[in-house]
Structure formats: C-alpha cells, structure tokens
A and B are shown apart, each in its own frame.
Chain A
Amino acid sequence: MLLKLALRNLLARRLRALVVGSVVAFGSFLAVLGGSFVTSLTASLRSSLTRSIVGDIQVYSDQAKDAFSLFGSGFSGMPDIGHIANFLELKKSLMARFPEIRAMVPQGVNVAMYSAGNILDVKLAELRKSFADPSYPAGKRRDLEAHLRAIVAATGQNYRDNLVANGLVGPKDEKKDEANLARARNPAFWAGFDGNPDPKLEFLENNIAPLIFEDHWLNLMYMGTIPHQMQEAFPQIQIVRGRMIPQGSRGILINEYVYQNAIKDQVAVRLDQMRDAIRDDHQTFASSEALRQKASANVSQVGDILTELSPSGASGLEADLNGLLGPAGEGRDLRSRLKLFFDMDDGNFQQRYGFFYRCVAPRIVLYRLKVGDVFPLTSYAQSGFSKSVNMKIWGTFRFSNFEHSPLAGVFNLMDMASFRDLYGFITPRRRAEQAALEAQMLKEDSSLDESQKDFAELFTHKKREASPAGSVPARVPESRRELAGDKARQRAVYSQAVSDEAMEDGPCLNAAIVLKSPDQAGRLIPAINAYSKSRGLGVRAVGWEQASGVLGQIAGVVKWLLTGFIAIIFLVGAFIIQNAMFMATMERTVEIGTMRAIGAKRDFIQKLIFAETAALSIVFSALGVALGLAAVLWLGRVGIPAPNLQMSFLFSGSRLYLRVGPAMPLVVLALTVLLSLGASLYPAWRANQVAPIRAMQHE
C-alpha cells in the first residue's frame, strides 16, 4: 500500500522523479566506475610493484633516518635508510618464524657513474679486444688503427681549444702533454703497433685520451641483490639480451630501457623517439614542433658521428649517401651531406630511418656498452669519496607489462658483492679475499709507481677496519688520470666467484619479502615488527605502498581525489534530492493533511516520503550501477589507454583493464540509497509536521 502510493506519487510527478533519478543514477554510475578504476589501479600498481622489485613486504633498519622508499623520495635523491647488518641472520630468523614467507632477497639501491670515455677510449677498448681475439679480421684491425690515428691527429687542436684555453692545465702538465701528443702523432709510434700493443694502448689510454675534453658520463641507478634469487622471486623480470647474471658470478644486468635510452647513441635514440611519435601518436613534422626539434638536434650532432667514423667507414658512408641523396655537388663534404641527411621531413623520414640503421649505425658506436663488456662503475658516497668496481654486463632485462615506462627503467640489477664494494661495505669474508687478490695484483703489476700503490691500497679498504660496514673518508680521484689508474687496478675483480652464501652473509640496505599468499601481508607486517622488537632484530617491516614511496602513494592520492570528486557529486545529489522531496511535500500539504484527517499517523506520512525516496533511489541507483558495470566490463575488455609513459607504469601496461568485485556494486547501491534516505530526513520530518487542518485549506 505504502509502496503503491509512493510509486504512484513518483509517477504522478514523472519529470521531477526523472531529474532526481538521473542525478542518483549518474552518481551511482560514477561511483561504480570510479571505484572500479581505483581498485583496478591499485591492484595493477600493486602487482607492478610487488611482482617486479618491491615484494609484498620490505624490511629495513629501524635506525633509518629518512622515510623508507625504494624509488627515492622523488626530489632529494636517495634517502638515508641505514642498513641491515647481516642479511643471512635476518633471513634465517624470519624464515624460521614465519612459514608464510616464500622468498627473501637482500636489496640495496644506489647510484654510480660510468664514464664511457671519449671516442678514443671507446676505440682503444675495441682495439684491445681485437688483440685478445685471434679470429679478429686483420683488415678491420687496420681500419681501427687508422681511425685511432685520425683521432689522435685531431686531439691536439681539441686539447688546446678546450683544456688549455680554459685554464684547466698547468704549464708543467701542458709541456708534458704536448710531448705525449708529439710522441703519439709520430708515425714511428704506430709502426709495428701489433707487435707488443699493451704498453702503447696504456700510453694512449692514460696520456692521450684524458686530453680530449668531451666525456659522456652516465648515471646508473642499480639495485644490488642476489640476481638469480631475485629473478626466481620476481616473475616479471624478463631477460631481453644476453643472460641473467649466473649464480656465483659478479656483474650487472642492464635495464633494457636504460640500454635503449641512455646507453644507445643519442642520435639513434632521437630517431627511435621520432619513429614512435609518428607511428603511435600520428605526429607529423608539419604539425609537431617536438619532432622538428629532434631533427635539428640530430643535425647539430653530426660532428660526434664524424669522429666516430673510421676513415674507411667515412668513405663507405659517403658513397651510400650519394646513392640516397644523389651525387654531391662542388665542395660538398661528408659533414654537410650528413647534415642534409638528418634534416628529415614527413616525406623522407621512413626511408632515412631505415638508411640510418642500414648504413650509419654499423659504422658508429651505436651502444657505448654491450653485453659481455666489462666497464668501470664509480660511486660517490655522500661524504665525497669514491669507489670503483669493474662490472661485467651479462645482459639486459625488463619488467614484463611495463617495459616502456621510464619509472620501471630506473633500476639495473647488480650482484650483492659488487654492490657492497661500491657502497663501501666490507665483510670479514670479503676482506680476506680482497687482501689475497690485491697481493697477487701488486705482484703481477710491477709497473705501478709509488703513488699508484697508495691508490691501490685504497681499494683494498685496508684502512677501513675500524668501521667495517660504514664509509671511511678517502681521497677523491682528482682527475681522469687517477680513474684510469683505478681501471687497471680493478680489472680483475669482476671475474671473481662469489657464492650465494657470501652474498647473503653481510650487510644490505633492505630486503624484499615475497609471500606464499600476498593477502597475508596485512597480518604479517605487524607480526614481523613485533617479532623484531622482541628479538632485537633491528628491522622494521612495511607494505608495498609505503615501500614504494611516492609511487605507492599515487594510488592513495588518486583514490582520495576520486573519492572527493564522487563525494561532491553525491553531496550535490543529496542536496537535489532534499530539495525535490521538500518541494514534493510542500505541494502535497492538502493531500497529506487529508490523510492525517482520515486517521493516518505521522509515522505513516514519514514512511511514505521514505518509501518514495527509497523506491526512486533503488531503481535509479540500480540503473546507474548497471550502466557503471556495463562500462567497467567494456573497459575491462578494451582497456583504458595510458595517456603517457608515467601512467603506463601505474596501469601496469599501456592499458588499464578495469575489474570489479561483486561487493562494490552492492556497496554503491546501499550507500546511494542510504544517502538518499538521509537527504529526505528533513523533508520527511516536515511532512509529518503537516497538520490535519491543512486538508481544508485549498488554494
């Protein structure tokens, strides 16, 4: 009866019911869509982070000075999070106590620099390799030597223009440098080069290469861990090139994103970016300023390409360019031909992109580092001293699903032993090994002078015994000459074997815990914290959201933003409902008065108003929820495309596929109805206050 009356009343004022209903439906629709968006975003961000790097739980020192965040605090570099004194002990203790833990790996994030050196360094390294490889073609080596001679010949001018002219060289050094340059330019230096190349290579590397001003420094952010264990614990790690750092080996696994964007030749990187923009975003040179800027940046970098070309490479390229661009006119040298080539437009981009990889790329240094290379990494501690360690590149990897995100590309993976060396940690076990290694090296390398011996000593960390895990101030290498010395010292370290146990048995910065079932994280975090406190383990556990710092908070921020937005919609909706029901009440005072006069209780009138609101909100909220579900299902199939790379990390891929649980629509429905009823409290109260006498008062 009540319901019938309520429905009839609603039908009698269809337009208003429709307006109010649309608001209710719209609110419910948005709530379902938004709710599902937030849940899906959180779920996918969670799976991105927990399955790639973070794990379900992170533990770190309870002495940490800064808030823990694996991805840095976003603005101020690496946070000071202290360190875990001994991972192995911690692991044993936690694994024994908590059987829910599936795997636990030590971690630590740090930044190191690599100077790819200039073109002379690169070519010298190539030449050095060629001597070690008996099958290296002789013709190719001759070409390499010719290239080196050409570079050396150009070095004098470069040195005077950049270093001397800017007052970077003292008069004593200048005299020495000029003498070295003269020696290297002398044809006699190059005669019989392949007889005993090592002293000559060292001479060029230590005395000539530093005179070239141009240097490419590369910052590498890496995570020290036990690589193969990390791969087992984190299924999203996928090898792209080469192989995983083998168990027992030192080395680094480069992130494919870093490889393609920072290690690759910048001209090629720009060409790749241009291709992506044209292919994926349908940009054109005519309409995109960014594209034109990239093209002109390439034009201005032609000089770098020229120095990387060997003499025979240059002539080969010139011939190829003539084939592409037509014969060169009078006075057209390779530089102007290359400038013309890189000045691309919509008409010729595809053809020239292909030409670049076919004819230019094989003749230049396309990647400064390649799989199999060994290169020196230098880290600078906060107090200002440095560590250098030679690293072997075993391969490249990516995190499946979000390989295109620069956020996912921040980490390279490194073995824990090298990490500790670069960080300045030294374990008793390591100290003994290193002493033995250094003794052998010093014996082998009798060419070291006294100052270099000092420096070598530095690398043995002999002076560190007072504080084995901390950092002790040491001398900063003042120039490249010293770093060049480092290189020689550290050459042998990379090939040392390190057992898993040795990697575990020592300090690390933090540790990732992967659970058998991720749902248990909420329960386990406080349990681990309590256990650590009672046993004095000195660690604190946090969930993935906290451990991911800014990134982890994004989900929270998005959630609050959306919740706020939906709350506003609901508030406006509630206001509209209140007004509509109030109007409906006021319009019906005669009718309500009549019912009261016939004997209807106040209660009945109130129930009538509530029934009207409930009927209206249930029907329309259900409609809105149904539409929302339909939209979610549709978007669950099609996916929401990520508007940019940053978003693709949040989305765990280029698209976010919405999902929705069974509870959420019901919650939305219930909330909407409750809110509507709340909004009709006042109108209902006003209605039950209508006096029976109002039945007599017709206007």
Chain B
Amino acid sequence: MEIIRFEDVRKDYPLGKVVVPALKGVSFGIQEGEFSAIAGPSGSGKTTLLNLIGCVDTATSGKVEVAGRDTASLSDSVLTGLRLNTLGFIFQSFNLIPVLDVYDNVEFPLLLKGDLEKAGRRARVLKYVEKVGLKDHLRHRPNELSGGQRQRVAIARALVSHPRLVLADEPTANLDSATGESIIALMKAMNREENTTFLFSTHDQKILSQARRVIRLHDGRVESDTAGEAARAS
C-alpha cells in the first residue's frame, strides 16, 4: 500500500513580485514500510517536498496523498489529526520547545494524543530518550544541549508516538558520524520491527548508503529514483 503518492506536484513560492518554483512537477509513490532517502544539492527542494508530505504546507498544483488521503481536500483539524497520529516530523532545525526540558519535549506529542497514562508515557519517553543516548540529560533544557543532542531530542520526539510515517529533514546533519550511524540504526530497527515508513533527506553519502531507495532531486525535479546501496546489497 502506498503511504505517499505525488502526482505532478508543483510548489511555487511567491517572493515579492517574482515567483520561485521550488518543485516543478514531481511524481512518485512510497510504499508503507519503505526506508527511503531524498537526496539533492542545497536548494533542490528537499525540505519543500517533506513539508508537503508533513501536511504543514500545500502544493500549488498536483496531488499529494498521505495515508491514502488527498491533503488538499482536508480540513485543518483533519490535517492536525494526521500530523499528530500518523506522522512524525524531524525538523532540519530541531524546533524544540525552549522552555521544556528533554523529558517534557519528548513527552509533548504523547500528551497531545492523550492515549497513554502517566506511567505508560514515562516508560515510552524513557525508552526513546535512552535510545538516542540522552538518559543523562533528562532535565536539560534545549539551550543547555549541543546541536547534536538537540537533534537527538527532536528524533526521540518524532518517534515516541509510534507514527506510521516518519519524515526527517537532514536528521544527521549535526551529528558526528558514530552517533549519526546509531540514529540511522535506531530508525532502521523501528522500520524493521514496527514497519514504520521512513523518508529522510540528506547530503551525507554514508547515510544515503543506508537507504533502500534514493530519490534524487535537482532544481525541483526528480532526477533519479533508484534502489539504494542497502537494497542492492541485500
């Protein structure tokens, strides 16, 4: 089953009087359970594409389907529900809530969902904080953490609610290669164990090599869509 479907998607950004085309007719589909990467040089449209899938932005034209639903036709509250229950989003610039510590930031989506009791939430939060290696920083605020640590909090926050689809915008950009790899390993394990679909953008060749499918963007168009090294290796 396709969890993402793009059909001739265009996205233009108005910039003063000119219009900046960020996506110029992109079509592809992603099956549930895939572990894929979006690659491409800076400015090629990776973030734009992820935003459209993440239901935080709408396409100028074309069709974006997420979990079988055409996002253009959904109301704000349905989209909110989709973001909360189906999606996990790892932002390029972390976007942690500055006044909350690590624990509270990670717990935040669980509180919004409201389906777990306090003890259940705690177990879940601790599990993911431990997985991203921040057990010792539970009560630190974002401004007391390094960039890499913040990134890991953001990852834990995205994964903690067990979404069907996780979108990650350059998840390892701020991590040293060892941590980066352990994060990828974590994502892979979730992909394997819970069939969570992952789609991440990256420049990092090493990370790309972990993907089973790589969609290459160039100047707002799909340049290539190939099976990744990982897929070929297996």
Residues of chain A from 556 to 571 with CB closer than 8 A to chain B in the complex: none
With a cutoff of 8 Å between Cβ atoms, the chain A residues found around residue B84 in the complex are 598-600
Contacts A692-B83, A696-B47, A698-B93 known; A598 to B77 CB distance under 8 Å?
Answer: no
Interface: B76 (CB within 8 A): yes
Q: Is the CB of A601 within 8 A of B80?
A: yes
With a cutoff of 8 Å between Cβ atoms, the chain B residues found around residue A599 in the complex are 80-81, 83-85, 87, 109, 112-113
Residues of chain B from 93 to 150 with CB closer than 8 A to chain A in the complex: 93, 95, 97-100, 104, 108-109, 111-113
Contacts A8-B100, A696-B91 known; A597 to B157 CB distance under 8 Å?
Answer: no
CB distance from A638 to the nearest CB of B (A): 45
Q: Is the CB of A692 within 8 A of B93?
A: no
Interface: B54 (CB within 8 A): yes
Residues of chain A from 591 to 642 with CB closer than 8 A to chain B in the complex: 591, 593-602, 604
Interface: B57 (CB within 8 A): yes
CB distance from B223 to the nearest CB of A (A): 23
Residues 46-79 of B, flagged 1 when their CB comes within 8 A of A and 0 if not, give: 0100010011110000000000000000001100
A5 to B97, CA, bound (A): 9
Interface: A325 (CB within 8 A): no
Nearest residue, chain A, Cβ from B82: A599
CB distance from B114 to the nearest CB of A (A): 10
Q: Is the CB of A8 within 8 A of B99?
A: yes
Nearest residue, chain A, Cβ from B58: A693
What are 22 A-B pairs at a CB distance below 8 A?
A: A1-B111, A593-B56, A594-B91, A597-B89, A598-B109, A598-B112, A598-B157, A599-B80, A599-B81, A599-B83, A599-B87, A599-B109, A599-B112, A599-B113, A600-B80, A600-B84, A600-B112, A602-B80, A604-B112, A692-B57, A693-B56, A696-B56
CB distance from B145 to the nearest CB of A (A): 16
Interface: A268 (CB within 8 A): no
CB distance from A602 to the nearest CB of B (A): 7
**What residues of chain A have their CB less than 8 Å away from a CB belonging to chain B?**
1, 4-5, 8-9, 11-12, 590-591, 593-602, 604, 691-693, 695-696, 698
Q: Is the CB of B51 within 8 A of A591?
A: no
With a cutoff of 8 Å between Cβ atoms, the chain B residues found around residue A590 in the complex are 95
With a cutoff of 8 Å between Cβ atoms, the chain A residues found around residue B87 in the complex are 599
Number of interface residues of B (CB under 8 A): 30
Nearest residue, chain B, Cβ from A591: B97
Interface secondary structure of A, over-half rule: helix
Question: Which of A594, A692, A698 is within 8 Å of B97, CB to CB?
Answer: A594
With a cutoff of 8 Å between Cβ atoms, the chain A residues found around residue B89 in the complex are 597-598
Contacts A4-B104, A693-B57 known; A601 to B95 CB distance under 8 Å?
Answer: no
Interface centre among A4, A8, A692 (most CB of B within 10 A): A692
Question: Which of A4, A12, A691, A696 is within 8 Å of B98, CB to CB?
Answer: A12
Q: Is the CB of A597 within 8 A of B81?
A: no
Q: Is the CB of B100 within 8 A of A695?
A: no
With a cutoff of 8 Å between Cβ atoms, the chain B residues found around residue A696 in the complex are 47, 51, 56, 91-92
Nearest residue, chain B, Cβ from A590: B95
Nearest residue, chain B, Cβ from A596: B80
**What residues of chain B have their CB less than 8 Å away from a CB belonging to chain A?**
47, 51, 54-57, 76-77, 80-81, 83-85, 87, 89, 91-93, 95, 97-100, 104, 108-109, 111-113, 157
A601 to B104, CA, bound (A): 18
A600 to B111, CA, bound (A): 10
Nearest residue, chain A, Cβ from B104: A4
Q: Is the CB of A5 within 8 A of B91?
A: no
With a cutoff of 8 Å between Cβ atoms, the chain B residues found around residue A601 in the complex are 77, 80
Nearest residue, chain B, Cβ from A594: B95
Nearest residue, chain A, Cβ from B50: A696
Q: Is the CB of A597 within 8 A of B104?
A: no
With a cutoff of 8 Å between Cβ atoms, the chain A residues found around residue B92 in the complex are 696
Can you name 18 extra interface pairs (CB under 8 A) apart from A594-B91, A597-B54, A695-B91?
A5-B100, A11-B99, A591-B97, A594-B95, A594-B97, A595-B97, A596-B56, A596-B83, A597-B83, A598-B112, A599-B81, A599-B84, A599-B109, A599-B113, A602-B77, A692-B56, A693-B56, A693-B57
Nearest residue, chain A, Cβ from B91: A695
4 closest A-B pairs by CB: A599-B84, A8-B99, A692-B56, A594-B95
CB distance from B74 to the nearest CB of A (A): 13
Q: Is the CB of B108 within 8 A of A598?
A: yes
Nearest residue, chain A, Cβ from B77: A601
A405 to B91, CA, bound (A): 77
Nearest residue, chain B, Cβ from A601: B80
Interface centre among A9, A590, A599, A601 (most CB of B within 10 A): A599
Nearest residue, chain A, Cβ from B55: A692
A698 to B76, CA, bound (A): 23
Q: Is the CB of B83 within 8 A of A9?
A: no
With a cutoff of 8 Å between Cβ atoms, the chain B residues found around residue A593 in the complex are 56
A5 to B100, CA, bound (A): 7
A1 to B157, CA, bound (A): 16
A695 to B84, CA, bound (A): 15
Question: Which of A12, A591, A598, A602 is within 8 Å of B83, CB to CB?
Answer: A598
A11 to B98, CA, bound (A): 12
CB distance from A587 to the nearest CB of B (A): 11
A591 to B80, CA, bound (A): 16
Question: Which of A5, A12, A695 is within 8 Å of B95, CB to CB?
Answer: A695
CB distance from A424 to the nearest CB of B (A): 84
With a cutoff of 8 Å between Cβ atoms, the chain B residues found around residue A698 in the complex are 93
Nearest residue, chain A, Cβ from B163: A599
Nearest residue, chain A, Cβ from B84: A599
Nearest residue, chain A, Cβ from B95: A594
A81 to B83, CA, bound (A): 79
CB distance from A11 to the nearest CB of B (A): 7
With a cutoff of 8 Å between Cβ atoms, the chain B residues found around residue A11 in the complex are 99
A604 to B84, CA, bound (A): 13
Q: Is the CB of B98 within 8 A of A695?
A: no
With a cutoff of 8 Å between Cβ atoms, the chain B residues found around residue A591 in the complex are 95, 97-98
Nearest residue, chain A, Cβ from B47: A696
A696 to B11, CA, bound (A): 16
With a cutoff of 8 Å between Cβ atoms, the chain A residues found around residue B99 in the complex are 5, 8-9, 11-12
With a cutoff of 8 Å between Cβ atoms, the chain A residues found around residue B55 in the complex are 692
Interface centre among A11, A602, A696 (most CB of B within 10 A): A696
Nearest residue, chain B, Cβ from A599: B84
A693 to B81, CA, bound (A): 16
A9 to B141, CA, bound (A): 13
With a cutoff of 8 Å between Cβ atoms, the chain A residues found around residue B104 in the complex are 4
A697 to B97, CA, bound (A): 15
With a cutoff of 8 Å between Cβ atoms, the chain A residues found around residue B157 in the complex are 598
Q: Is the CB of A602 within 8 A of B56?
A: no
CB distance from B61 to the nearest CB of A (A): 18
With a cutoff of 8 Å between Cβ atoms, the chain B residues found around residue A695 in the complex are 56, 91, 95
With a cutoff of 8 Å between Cβ atoms, the chain A residues found around residue B109 in the complex are 598-599
A691 to B91, CA, bound (A): 16
With a cutoff of 8 Å between Cβ atoms, the chain A residues found around residue B77 in the complex are 601-602
Interface centre among B76, B81, B95 (most CB of A within 10 A): B95
With a cutoff of 8 Å between Cβ atoms, the chain B residues found around residue A604 in the complex are 112
A664 to B231, CA, bound (A): 74
With a cutoff of 8 Å between Cβ atoms, the chain A residues found around residue B113 in the complex are 599
With a cutoff of 8 Å between Cβ atoms, the chain A residues found around residue B91 in the complex are 594, 597, 695-696
Q: Is the CB of A693 within 8 A of B51?
A: yes
With a cutoff of 8 Å between Cβ atoms, the chain B residues found around residue A595 in the complex are 97, 108
A599 to B114, CA, bound (A): 12
A8 to B81, CA, bound (A): 26
CB distance from A341 to the nearest CB of B (A): 82
CB distance from B170 to the nearest CB of A (A): 13
A692 to B98, CA, bound (A): 17
CB distance from B115 to the nearest CB of A (A): 12
A596 to B79, CA, bound (A): 10
CB distance from A689 to the nearest CB of B (A): 10
Nearest residue, chain A, Cβ from B97: A591
A600 to B109, CA, bound (A): 8
With a cutoff of 8 Å between Cβ atoms, the chain B residues found around residue A692 in the complex are 55-57, 83
CB distance from B173 to the nearest CB of A (A): 14
A11 to B57, CA, bound (A): 32
